[in-house]
Each structure stands twice: as structure tokens, then as C-alpha cells.
Amino acid sequence: MTMIEKAQVTVKRDRREELIDELVSQQRRFHALPSDLSADESAQVRRRALGEVAGTALEHIGHYSMDAERASRRNCENFIGAAQVPMGVIGPLHLKGEYVDGDVYVPMATTEAALVASTNRGCAAIREAGGATVRVEEAGMTRAPVFRTSGIEQTQRFLAWVREHQDDVRAVTDATSRYLHLLDVRPYAFGTTVWLRFRFDCGDAMGMNMATIACDKVVTEYIEHETGVPCIALSGNYCVDKKPAEINFQEGRGKRVFAEIVLEAPVLKKYLKTDARHLVEAQYRKNLLGSIAAGSRGYNAHFANVLSAVFIATGQDPAHVVEGSLGVTCIESRGPEGVYASVYLPDLPVGAIGGGTELATQREALDLLGVRADPKRPGAAAKKLAEILGGAVLAGELSLMAAFTSQDLARAHERLGRGQLPPGSRI
């Protein structure tokens, strides 16, 4: 290092200390660091400042391998580093779908003891039974702007206009992205309020962003202009994004997913330590009557657990687990001592591109699943992911329901939460 280089380093270091001081003293905002700092440098400055404020170093948060430049621009402002979420793997999970066929290993990022072990046990049972049948339907990504009218008569005229101009509307929305196609527009109205629930096919993207962009365009540049009816909010909560909602249960959102399996007595006994009678009764009193008693729209054991683990691993939006938690598990007697088990997820927004899917570990996780967008089969990668999620959720339901019947639920937690690892049971 030459003297000049050394001097530059010192200047740089001094300037950094200055920035840190400014952040600590609140003279400078965390998002207002100089643009010539690299993302890694900015992150370090922020961590150092926070460390001073909180009296604690943020070393581990600074330990990451992702492309900070890209992440800080596309995923997370005021970037300081990364949360490391432990990742495990289950499988092989044998699936027979339209977009997945054969064995997959599914990555799960979770901090909940026993979740991976338990879901893995479900995979073993499914594998032994010859694989689960899975199917996915495009429910469409939705966005529902809300409008204000003067009352019944203007609403009627407005809705008539929308009906008559559906093709024109589509021309505008579909021009915003070659990946987006407007499927239809569902209106709902009362009093002086009108919602238009736009439903898009977004190919391999989860699509919330592109749906919003398309809606913004068509609303501000076409609908409001032509009708004079003002849009009050581009999302009118009739979409419904990241809230549990009946319209999504009825109409679906994102992908609508189905998975099923028939398990005979030997599989139930060997892999799940249970039998048909106990499983069917637990299903009846817990998943059906229990959810009825509670007024829950999740008639299942724990869709949300499996979904959140795979969502985080693969860069999906974890807030969409709210929607994924809706749905129904069925377990019915089949044959003398077997069961038919199925899961139904009406509302599962997922994507193979965009959002968090391009981040380093998330991309690897998707590659592990063989989920990668193919221009020749647009939408197929996202649908494959949805089918896999259906299968994984089914595995999770089977194992947990079986664990309840074995009443070893809490005991398993006791062991696993404290560090011993007998496979297969969980809460």
C-alpha cells in the first residue's frame, strides 16, 4: 500500500465514522447514506451505528453471501445484512401431478423444532403409498380498486360501462407486461362504493406487483378518465391481499391446490403409528367440529407451518401464508382399514420469478425443487411449486394428525425442543 492509498483509506475510515456519528445522533436518516457507498459499506455503517445505539454488535447479521447491491435495491431498503433462518430438507416426496412427477426434496426454513422431522415422516408414508396425486388451478392474482359514485344510478351506469368495455380494459392492462393477462373483472357494489376485482394470469410471477401496476394504469389513464368516477384506493380490500377473506375462499386467489392420497393399514401403522379409526375421529372432532366451534376458516391441522417454512426457503412472500392457512383437510375411511386423505388450498399466491426468488439461497432452494421459469412453458414453474406445496402440506397434515392420535405430541416436543431428535412427531 502506497502512502496515498493509506491516506485514502484513512479518509474513508474517517468519513465512515462521521456517517456513523450522524446516524447515531439522528442528524442523518438511515436511508440517506451517500450514494457512492456500496451496499455492503452502507450496511456496515448502519450496523455500526445501530451497534452503538443498542450497545450490541450485529456481527451475525453482517454475515451474508447474497448480492447486497441487488437485495438493497430490489428487496429491502435500509439494508443491514441478513436474518439466517435454519434450513432443513424433507423427502423424497413422491408426487403425481400435472407439473411435477416423481421425487422431490423440499427445503424448509424454520425455527420450530420437530416441524421438519414431522413433515418428513409424512413424506415417508406418502412415498410408501405410491405417491400423492396433486393438482393446481390458476385462480389468478387479484387487485380490487375501490371507487366512489353518487349512488345507485351512477353505480349502475358505471358497471354497465365496465361490462361493455371489458376488452378495452384488457387491452390497457395487458399492455403493461407481456407476462400479465386479464382474466376477468368481478364487480361488487353497495351504497356509494364500487369495487372492481381484476383477476390476472401472471405467468410464473406471484404477480401482486404487476397486477397493481396494470390496475393503476387502467384506472388512472382509462377508467377514471372515461367515466369520471374517482378511484379512492387502488386496493379496496376486496382483492384480498394478506388478510383471511371469504371472497378468496370462494373465488380462490393465486393458485388453487388439491392433493390426496390413500393410505392402507400397514402404512398407517408402520410410518404414522396410527390407524384409520383414530385418524378419522381426530379429523372429525378437531379439523371439522373444532374449527366450526372456533369459527375458523382453516379446517386443517397446520397448513401455515409447512407453508411458511417452504415460503421462506424459496423466497415467497411469507405474509401470504395468511391466505394459505385457509382450506380444508379431509380424512375419510377407505376400504376396511385404510383412509383417504386430502388437502384443499383455495388461496395460495406463489411465484417462480420476482420478489425474493432471485436471492442467493432462495434461488438455490428453488433449483433444488427444479422450479425454474421456462419461456416455452410460461406459468408452469409457479404451478409446479404450487403442486409441490400441496404435497408437502399433505405430508404435514398426515404426520401431525397421526401424532395427535398417538398422543405423543407434547412428549415429542419436550424431547425435540430440548435437543434430542427422534423423528416424526411434532406439535
Element spanning 141, H or E: strand 132-143
Considering only the stretches 12-20, 78-86, 269-277, 378-386, report the one whose residues sit in contact with a copy of itself under the rule CB under 8 A.
Answer: 78-86
Give the residue with the Cβ less far from a copy of itself, 14 or 69: 69
Closest approach of a copy of itself to the CB of residue 370, in Å: 7
Query: Residue 248 corresponds to which cell in the numbers above?
Result: 378468496
Interface with a copy of itself, residue 115, by CB under 8 A: yes
Alpha-carbon span 277 to 405, nearest angstrom: 10
Alpha-carbon span 380 to 372, nearest angstrom: 9
Yes or no: say if 299 and 291 are a contact pair by the CB < 8 Å rule.
Answer: yes
Instruction: Write phi, then psi, for 377 (nearest 5 degrees).
Output: -130, 70
Amino acid symbol at 120:
N
Yes or no: say if 306 and 393 are a contact pair by the CB < 8 Å rule.
Answer: yes
Element spanning 263, H or E: strand 253-263
- Name the nearest CA neighbour of 264 among 333, 329, 330: 333
Q: Is 112 among the residues known to form the active site?
A: yes
Instruction: Write phi, then psi, for 64 (nearest 5 degrees).
Output: -145, 165
Interface with a copy of itself, residue 2, by CB under 8 A: no
Catalytic residue among 317, 323, 347, 397: 317
Alpha-carbon span 424 to 427, nearest angstrom: 10
Catalytic residue among 94, 112, 387, 408: 112
Residues numbered 366-425 forming contacts with a copy of itself, rule: CB under 8 A: 367-370, 401, 404-405, 407, 409-411, 413-414, 416-421, 423
Alpha-carbon torsion angle 275, 104, 297, 253, nearest 10: -150
Interface with a copy of itself, residue 9, by CB under 8 A: no
Amino acid symbol at 289:
L
Closest approach of a copy of itself to the CB of residue 284, in Å: 8
Q: Is 317 among the residues known to form the active site?
A: yes
Interface pick for a copy of itself out of 163, 292, 335, 374 (rule CB under 8 A): 292
Query: Residue 16 corresponds to which cell in the numbers above?
Result: 465512515
Interface with a copy of itself, residue 5, by CB under 8 A: no
Interface pick for a copy of itself out of 19, 81, 129, 254 (rule CB under 8 A): 81
The contact pattern for a copy of itself, residues 323-362, with x = CB under 8 A and - = no contact, is --xxxx-x-x-------x-x-x---------xxx--xxxx
Closest approach of a copy of itself to the CB of residue 209, in Å: 5
Q: Is 225 among the residues known to form the active site?
A: no
Helix (H, G, I), strand (E, B) or coil at 138: strand
Residues numbered 15-74 forming contacts with a copy of itself, rule: CB under 8 A: 26, 29-31, 46, 50, 53-54, 56-61, 63-66, 70-74
Interface with a copy of itself, residue 88, by CB under 8 A: yes
Interface with a copy of itself, residue 291, by CB under 8 A: yes
Query: Residue 253 corresponds to which cell in the numbers above?
Result: 386467489
Closest approach of a copy of itself to the CB of residue 107, in Å: 7
Active-site annotation, residues: 112, 317, 413
